[in-house]
Amino acid sequence: MGIEHLNIRITGKVQGVYYRASARQKAEALGVKGFVRNQPDGSVYIEAEAEPEALAQFVAWCHAGPDRAQVLKVEATPAPLQNFVGFEVRR
């Protein structure tokens, strides 16, 4: 296997509930690289790169999110590698 890249869009009550900070903690724990940011439409957008198993665990976490989140939908789409070096919260 190798490193894979996913573009992930999470909708629901996912802003103002520490989703981005929690996603960064989870990503760092799993060795996932990339970034997370809030979108103007109220969703959260993540680009994530890791080994397939770590990505699968991260996407599974995205379906739940932090305690105060209410996730309605998670869309994960494969995309070309960007070779991120860490995981950051973007504004």
Considering only CA atoms, which of 73, 9, 3 is closest in space to residue 44? 9
Q: Is 78 helix (H, G, I), strand (E, B) or coil?
A: strand
pTM for the predicted model, two decimal places: 0.97
Question: Is residue 25 very low, low, confident or very high in pLDDT (cuts 50, 70, 90)?
Answer: very high
Range of the domain at 32: 4-81
32: domain CATH number is: 3.30.70.100
Task: Please count the structural domains in the chain.
Answer: 1
Query: Is residue 60 assigned to a domain?
Result: yes
Query: Is residue 90 assigned to a domain?
Result: no
Catalytic positions, written as ranges: 20, 38
Residue 1 has pLDDT above 90, yes or no: no
